[in-house]
Structure 1
Amino acid sequence: MRVIDEPQYSAAAFCKRLEERFARRADVMAAIGGDDRLNPGDREEFMDRDFKHAAVLIPVIDRGDDAHVLLTQRAEHLSSHKGQIAFPGGKIDPGETPEEAATREAWEEVGLNDNAVQLIGTFGDYYSGSGYRITPVAAKVRPDYEMVINEDEVASAFEVPLSFLMDRENHRIESLTWKERERHFFAMPFMDESVNPPVERRIWGVTAGIIRMVQERVYGG
């Protein structure tokens, strides 16, 4: 595991870079992404599907020169993506904007309130093989935020250095067989040393795909 230790990965630098990209290359930031990137054979099938619209919050926590990103592990009893690592988020209710849905879900899942969250920008939608059209919303979070985990939805929550997630050397391409077809996906295994004993957090699938999309659009590649 390699972590870049540079001020460019502070929350302030990330937000500034993000705002500049939205201002100068809005077309790039609004471009759609999805699981079909690594599975081009799924592209035609994607076009014929009805996707459920959802939104996720990408909470970048201000930790000085070393910003962190808040992620959750979904509860094991959930009907979809149980036990997987995810951003706070969920389905968009009727009449909601993606930004409203993302912040509402972050409040419901981990207790992030409006006073701790400053929205930065909204990326183009990410289409998942599981049938969701996900709108990622980036936000800066105060370091003194209070976490209240909703155990009905979230098993645990943890922070990962932004420098780790934005380092392409930590991005792997893995595969598994699903519905009798080999599917490829990004994976970013992270050793969480904030707990004792340390635990490997397996960031993969849609969450890793969104992280890769952010990395490419904000830092290049």
Structure 2
Amino acid sequence: MNSTQRHLGSRLNVNFDIRQSIAKALAAPGDRSSDFDLNPTAQIPAGQELRAAGVLVPIVVRPSGARLLLTKRAPTLRHHPGQIAFPGGKVDERDDGPIMAALREANEEIALPTDSAEIVGCLPPHETVTGFLATPVVAIVSNDFRPTPALDEVAEVFEVPFRHVLDLTAYSIQSRRWRGEQRHYFTVPWGPYYIWGATARMLHALADRMNEHADRSGLA
């Protein structure tokens, strides 16, 4: 066996270990998360139905360890400009559920080919204060994928060490005024990137599961 074959075999083993660890955590029973977890007095307006959505939680395994891909939304967007988010969006008539919606949106937003993402599983849906029921779809992304952001939607694509977002001590709870009330939310900043709100809450839910149910030793 030459050095290239040994390296490929090692990388495949690492991918398998990470995939198995994540799959084990996602298979554990648990309740869905919500922006209202920290804001029990806040309520969605009466009569407003939750809209189904899917967001992709893309993980790529680099030689230095597993990395999470996130986007910074374009500053020109009407909703949540400049915020950190997963690729994703609402389920529409073209989609056969939230997994397809997450993959379609990831292709549109960062040019991720569908066949470059291996679905590992899903977290329970997350309820947002903006009226969405978003299913986080966790996927292992091909190591050779290079994102191309759709600049009308995405200003930047960046990577965060997966181990960082699994570290529960990296999270804090902060607050700000929103719609006349003090709203509390999770944050998990990384360098210049302020990751907060629904994105941080969904990552916190994943971190909870990974810490309780998975072996993190291979995540680097």
| Secondary structure of residue in 2 paired with 1:220 | helix
Structure 1 segments unaligned to the other structure (5+ residues): 1-9, 192-199
CA positional deviation for 1:37: 0.6
**Distance across 1 between alignment mates of 2:50 and 2:155:** 26
| 1:118-138, Cα deviation, whole Å (9 max, x unpaired) | 011011110111221111000
Mapped contact 1:11–1:66 kept (Cα < 8 A): no
The CA distance in 2 between the partners of 1:125 and 1:46, in whole Å, is 19
Partner Cα separation in structure 2 for residue 152 and residue 140 of structure 1: 26
Query: In 1, distance between residues paired with 2:211 and 2:202?
Result: 14
TM-score (structure 2 length as normaliser): 0.84
The 1:11/1:161 distance shift into structure 2, 3 A limit, reads farther
Q: 8 Å contact 2:188–2:194 — kept in the other structure? A: yes
Separation of aligned partners in 2, 1:65 and 1:123: 26
- Shift in Å, 1:115: 2.8
Match of 1:108 in 2: 108
The one-letter code matched in structure 1 to 2:194 is R
Q: CA deviation at 1:189?
A: 1.3
Could you say which residue in structure 2 is the equivalent of 1:5? none
Report which of the two structures shows the higher radius of gyration computed on alpha carbons: 2
Aligned residues: percent identity? Answer: 34
Gaps of 5+ in 2: 1-13, 214-220
CA RMSD of aligned residues (A): 1.9
Aligned to 2:24: 20
Residues 92-136 of structure 1: CA distance to partner in whole angstroms, max 9, x if unpaired? 112521111101111110011023210110111101112211110
Alignment partner of 1:214 out of 178, 182, 206: 206
Q: Deviations over 1:119-164 (max 9, x none)?
A: 1101111011122111100000111102111001000110000011
TM value normalised by structure 1 = 0.84
Identify if the C-alpha distance between structure 1 residues 78 and 16 changes in structure 2 by more than 3 Å, giving closer, same or farther. Answer: same
Inter-partner Cα distance in structure 2 for 1:73 and 1:103: 18
Asked if the contact 1:11/1:60 (under 8 Å) is kept, the reply is no
When structure 1 is superposed on structure 2, of 49-58 and 101-110 the one drifting more is 49-58
Q: Do the aligned partners of residues 212 and 48 (structure 1) sit closer, same or farther apart at CA in structure 2, a change above 3 Å counting?
A: farther
Aligned to 1:57: 56
Question: What is aligned with 1:76?
Answer: 75
Partner of 1:3: none
